[in-house]
Structure 1
Amino acid sequence: MADEIPPWAARLRDERRSRQWSQRDMAKRLMEVANEETRRSLPLRESIVRNIGNWEAGKHEPKDPYRVLYAHAFGIAEDRLFSDPYKRPRRTPEEILARVLPEGDPKALLTTGTGRRIGMGAVTDLSARVHGLRLADDVLAGGDLIEPAFRELDTAVRLYRETVHTEEVGRSLLVSVGEFAQIAGWVASDAGRHEQAAQAYRLGINATREAGDAALESYLLGSLAYQITNTGDPGEGVQLAHATLKTAERHPSPGVRALAWDRLAWAHTRVGEAQAAMKALGQAATAFAVGSRDADPPYVYWVNTGELQIMEARVYTELGRPLRAVPLLVDVLGRYDASHTRELALYLSWLAVALADDGEPEEAVRVAWRMLNLSGEVVSDRLARRSRVILEHLQPYRDLPEVRELFAHHPMPPNNR
């Protein structure tokens, strides 16, 4: 099995792959770092390529001068490169962002180097992987996905930077970077890593703006607006939501435009602007009803009438109108996909709060039990925040036996706002 190769062989292979080099690229690099005298003694590149395959398979260990050349090519000390034991590098999201955003500058992405030439096949592979990551986010929480999400973002950025490609392929690569940045930011936000999420979103915004993809730029702006509205300054969230809408209006997608109006509705709600929020909700419904969903990009697959109802109900709940929120939530939750545990628990939390605010504490407790039991093993900052909100809204009813029992099993979590 591949995992049974010697540690030094696994290291040579992984270091090469982490740089997106083929074995031919590796051979070229080894020849380039050799001094003139050593280069004259090296065999033809095809022979070096065969040796690289054998070394990475652990069939035999490279001897001098190749050990020294490998160390120079990778920028890693020879004794460390060939030492035991070897543990595959696992970069943290912080380390990945530090590398893809030198000195914190999102525009630094837009510089390319030289390397192997790639075509649209590489873009197709990235598109399949980012969609798989989005589907994984439907059933897994941020704490489970944050490391793989940022590793994929890292790969997409380096593929753009370190390869030679046509203008068309380069534009498509930037779009892929934007898609990975959006899902990485969303996952980081769900894991409570809000600064990393904002950095990822801004990286994606710059990439998609350079690529000229208005729909994806709007999606990223909306994601950033939504996060800042919830965890930062809601006033800034309103400004970003307006920018989201302005960008979305350049694209015919009903899903993209409806989502932009929803983001604006929520931002207005958080600053207490009820009339503006209601108007934005109406515009979201209108936008969704106009045009063909064939114009929707794949990342808004989840935007549907049920999601629009959920946002409407959330706005009503937040504005203190629970009587209007409850029937909407009951309707959507009655047909919601139970495999989407985090979203189901989040939406149940809004129903529990609406019921408590409507003076139905016993029913609110019943829903709260279901929500809290669902979210027990889900590593999500969003769920932790909502759990606290439920308990806060049930505080006035602590004298009721049902509420006391709930608090006995689910103490108030810390306030991370």
Structure 2
Amino acid sequence: MGSSIGANIKGLREQRGWSQARLAHEVCRASGVIGEPVGRQEVSRWETGRRTPREWLTFLAAALGVSVDALKTPQTAAEPPLPTLADFLPEGDPLSPLKARTGRRVGMVQVDDLQQRVHGLRLADDVLAGGDLIRPALRELRSAVKLYREGSHTSDVGRQLLIQIGELAQIVGWIASDAGQHSEAERIYRLGISAATQAEDRTLAGNIAGSLAYQLSNIGRESEGLTLAQAALNDAGADAPPKARALYLDRVAWAHTKAGGIENGQQAIRALGEAGQALSEDSEGAESPPWLYWVDAGELRVMEARVFTEIRRPLRAVPLLREVLSEYDATHTRELALYMSWLVVALADANEAEEAAAVASRVIMLAADIPSERTAERVCFILRRLREFADVPEVAELLAATAA
């Protein structure tokens, strides 16, 4: 079994483009242990089969975004290295049309077909994680850019193609981010912003910019995230559909929350109120782009609950999260696990350690088979948070089980 684990570790590490030293660092980060008890040489021993990870197996799986069973199971054939957007796009400006277009004539039939595939990918992301979707998503983006650059089309068809490329870049960037490919996601988002801007679709450009702002806020670039989230809101203008403005304001709220500080916390709460007001202006007859289908009062409650959790207001956060989770679609496993992880933190802040441990157990169970960097990080985070209650029997039992 040791040799198959070693081969799996090496294959997954290389798919991510990580060095052995980087994997060692990520394992230590996932474990929450102070210092660097695992180094490059230890990873080398695991990969060559000279040593079995044993007590580090859970943290290896979390760092690599896979289940423990996936690490143990022999693979019949190694997956090829994860492609990047650069593998699919030409040098220079990827949206620059070829001087001599040799491709087929492109009309609205092809645009409609692309639109359906984009929406299908968006729906798939509701139930599948980034690790499952990244390859087909990148292939779709490559094909769309190739169609625009090489095909022969009218200016109106070209604009519609750019809009679909922008929509596709937003969802592919989101998928790449969920898979832990943050640099790749940023490149994809910027491609999408360029496409939407060229198509003069300010609402779409604001959505893509807001998605990038959300990522920046979550990976330690809070100041950039806040600036970009605010710019996305401002640039979209007052004419943006109510649902779009609600979404932009949601992201501004989150960016303020991640920036920290009392004043930013107050700004976050204010932005949440404005988001709710914007959504209340939406009506059945109001026109909104199809990609806003998921923005509703429930999603605003989710963000409100997360904000109150982050600013340590558990009395507000816990009831909201319980309400959201009681109504949430169980087929959206990744989001369910993520939202439950915030409930764990809010319960811990409210000194409800026993219930926090029970919810954390379910989060870990759900996250075990989800190839999502975000869920893996949240599992590590809630386990570190619960160590403050290690003297509570339910928590001690959970920590012992995960350590084993």
Give the TM-score, by structure 2 length. 0.76
Cα distance in structure 2, aligned partners of 1:214 and 1:289: 22
1:129 matched to 2:117? The reply is yes
Match of 1:304 in 2: 296
Percent identity over the alignment is 53
Match of 1:258 in 2: 246
Contact 2:104 2:151 in 1 (8 A): yes
Code of the aligned partner of 1:285? G
State the Cα distance separating 1:295 from its structure 2 match: 1.8
State the Cα distance separating 1:250 from its structure 2 match: 4.8
State the Cα distance separating 1:92 from its structure 2 match: 4.3
Match of 2:37 in 1: none
Match of 1:319 in 2: 311
Match of 2:190 in 1: 202
> What is the correspondence of 1:95-134 to structure 2 with a 5 Å cutoff?
96-100=85-89, 102=91, 107-112=93-98, 113-114=100-101, 115-134=103-122
Q: CA RMSD in A?
A: 1.7
Contact 1:110 1:207 in 2 (8 A): no
Match of 1:279 in 2: 270
Match of 1:93 in 2: 83
Cα distance in structure 1, aligned partners of 2:164 and 2:139: 14
Match of 2:383 in 1: 391
Match of 2:356 in 1: 364
Judged with a 3 Å threshold, the aligned counterparts in structure 2 of structure 1 residues 308 and 398 are, in CA distance, closer, same or farther, namely same
Match of 1:229 in 2: 217
Q: Which moved more, 1:189-198 or 1:380-389?
A: 380-389
Gaps of 5+ in 2: 1-78
Code of the aligned partner of 1:275? Q
Match of 2:236 in 1: 248
State the Cα distance separating 1:111 from its structure 2 match: 2.6
Code of the aligned partner of 1:384? A
Q: Larger radius of gyration, structure 1 or 2?
A: 1
Match of 2:55 in 1: none
Judged with a 3 Å threshold, the aligned counterparts in structure 2 of structure 1 residues 195 and 231 are, in CA distance, closer, same or farther, namely same
Judged with a 3 Å threshold, the aligned counterparts in structure 2 of structure 1 residues 140 and 394 are, in CA distance, closer, same or farther, namely same
Match of 1:212 in 2: 200
SS in 1 for 2:195: helix
Cα distance in structure 2, aligned partners of 1:360 and 1:91: 44
Code of the aligned partner of 1:274? G
SS in 2 for 1:175: helix
1:139 matched to 2:127? The reply is yes
Deviations 1:177-218 (A, max 9, x none): 111111110000000000000000000000000001111101
Cα distance in structure 2, aligned partners of 1:360 and 1:146: 38
Give the TM-score, by structure 1 length. 0.74
Which structure would you say has the larger RCO, counting Cα contacts within 8 Å and 6 or more residues apart? 2
State the Cα distance separating 1:292 from its structure 2 match: 2.9
Cα distance in structure 1, aligned partners of 2:86 and 2:81: 10
Contact 1:352 1:364 in 2 (8 A): yes
Cα distance in structure 1, aligned partners of 2:397 and 2:391: 10
